[in-house]
Structure 1
Amino acid sequence: MLDRRTLVAGAMTLAAFGTCAQAQDYKASYPELVFAKVPDENASGTTDRWTPFVDYLSRQLGVKVTLRIANDYAAVVEGQRAGNIHIAMYGPASYARAYVTGAKIEPFAIEVSGDGTKGYYSVLYVKADTPYKDLKDLAGKNLCLVDPNSTSGNNVPRYAMNKMGIDPETFFSKIVYAGSHENAVIGVQQGTCDAAFNWWNDEKESNLLRMARKNMAKAEDFRIIFKSDLIVNSPMAYLTTLPESLKAALRNAVLNVATNDPAAFNAIYEGKQLPFVAVTHKEYEPVVELIKFVDELRKKKRAS
């Protein structure tokens, strides 16, 4: 005869078996996951920065996680649309672009700046010894942008310039898409461009300061002549089609990496940022509207 304790014990055993089976199911269905990173710095720098994190994910999830460094921002977007990139770390505009073009994705973690804010800025660099004081002093000069899908390196600058009544294609002598934030700074350093847009967190961290730590540039050689309004920080997103057990395991691993593997976390941010926290799509709705606005500007320009 079955008594209540026997039934409860049996139910608990079945529940535990079901949870275990579900976890094993994702390992069987997804023996390898692809984690992609947009090329905001050179490939070797991105590899050094993110490989310890990817190795950590492999250990936590119990499956192989492969790091893919895209050639450009669009490659990450297309990879997620095709379902070939399971997890991606990119700027807000790249996430928004993937979302509006039909990628089945969901943001689940967001970067936190060293001062505790969940935002950063687009800034415009010029050489420190030049006379330029603001953006309007650059009429007829050459401008370095980063990538069409870069938030701080293209979309926010174009939005800001539109508000100032500036049409970049006619205002500047030449616009160069440098391909990465580092390359945009190097463009100014080498004289290819007179100014370059870039990302900037605070006085203690920016792409320029990272480059200075790698002896790629001297921070004192540059000066900021424009700073945008606060932009929501970069998200990490996964495919919504992944099993719930896998998504839960990913969230747990990423949100706790700073505690579980401080070395892997610090390899990414060099002690300049705080641990990831949870995020949802709602926080990125303003960025979705931003890229739609920039798209409309392009359409109007082509039609005129």
Structure 2
Amino acid sequence: MLRRDALVLLASSLAMLATPAVAQSWKEKYPELVMALVPAENATGTLDRYTPFVNYLSKELGVKVTLRVASDYTAVIEGQKNKQIHIGFYGPGSYARANTVSGGNVVPFVTTKNSDGSIGYYSVMYVRADSKYKSIEDLKGTTLGFVDVESTSGFKAPNFFLTQQGFPIDKHFKVGQTTGSHENAVLALAAGTVDAAVNWWNSEDDSNLTRMLNKGMVKRTDGSPMTKADFRIAWKSPLLPGSPYAYLADMPEDLKKAIAKAFVEAPQKDKDAFAKLSDGKDLGFVEVTAKDYEESVRMNLWLDEQRKKKAS
């Protein structure tokens, strides 16, 4: 005859076998998270800007967060589509592309709030201040430097809005050439390789141009550093939605909530790491959803339709 304590142990064991297994923690399935960024500056600058923030995320989430600096926009889009990237940082247009090609599995969760409290940014077209060009009308028949075909400020928005305004790029400009990055577009303009270049712009003191000038990256032919006075804006787009961070929709809900919470709380929990992302210009992260980027999806569809017309 079994003793009472043995019977209790046996009953407990049988009960455990009959009970469904307790769901594993997301940390067991995701011991490492990969965050990738579309290129906005050179790899060294990106690593310097984002490494403290990635370290903060690793600490907050309790798993390793690995930063991947992509060579182009498509690498991030395809990487997240294939679930090799868990968190991606996009422009509105490249996010819209990622959302489409992933069948809706790439979704935005936060964007940044600018120093003036606004949300969003602009596409601008720069020219050299020592040139004769002062407006979009003046640039007819000239050479325009793009960034990347998946860049919102550096390709999609100029094509979309200038066509609406009566200046379709393929007709208004003699040549439109991609440069590969926001920095390359500015450098091409500075060197005189192009007559105008498009880029992102938040405010007079917060743009890709001002960041490059502050680093002494833009020089004249004699090697002396250029300043803001050496450039002027010939065209500016309507306000674009803020560049979003997006994660995979099919990840566990508690993981997605933990990621969003870590981002939103970053300015309070690691002020220095957050400030480094924008040289102290941004105020914080604000939560967003796919609904906030419906216009970006429509812009992409319009661009795709134009490509099909040209190809046919």
Give the TM-score of the pair, scaled to structure 1: 0.90
* Distance across 1 between alignment mates of 2:269 and 2:75: 31
Q: How does 1:255-294 map to 2 (within 5 A)?
A: 255-294=264-303
1:36 is aligned to 36
Q: How does 1:217-256 map to 2 (within 5 A)?
A: 217=218, 218-256=227-265
Larger Rg: 2
**1:140 Cα shift?**
2.1
Q: How does 1:1-304 map to 2 (within 5 A)?
A: 25-103=25-103, 104-217=105-218, 218-303=227-312
* Distance across 2 between alignment mates of 1:165 and 1:280: 32
* Distance across 2 between alignment mates of 1:89 and 1:131: 37
Distance 1:24 1:193, change over 3 A: same
Distance 1:241 1:289, change over 3 A: same
**1:237 Cα shift?**
0.8
**1:149 Cα shift?**
0.7
**Identical aligned residues as a percent:** 51
SS in 1 for 2:122: strand
**Which 5+ residue runs of structure 1 have no aligned equivalent?**
1-20
Deviations 1:216-273 (A, max 9, x none): 1322211001011110111111001111111111011001101100111011111111
Amino acid at match of 1:72: D
**Which 5+ residue runs of structure 2 have no aligned equivalent?**
1-20, 219-226
Contact map agreement 1:22 1:245 (CA 8 A) in 2: no
Q: After alignment, is 172-181 or 56-65 more displaced?
A: 172-181
Deviations 1:116-144 (A, max 9, x none): 11111111000011111211222221110
**1:202 Cα shift?**
1.3
* Distance across 2 between alignment mates of 1:237 and 1:22: 29
Deviations 1:33-75 (A, max 9, x none): 1000011111111111111111111111111111001110111
* Distance across 2 between alignment mates of 1:39 and 1:171: 28
* Distance across 1 between alignment mates of 2:241 and 2:90: 12
Give the count of matched residue pairs.
283
SS in 1 for 2:199: strand
Amino acid at match of 1:118: I
1:3 is aligned to none
Give the TM-score of the pair, scaled to structure 2: 0.87
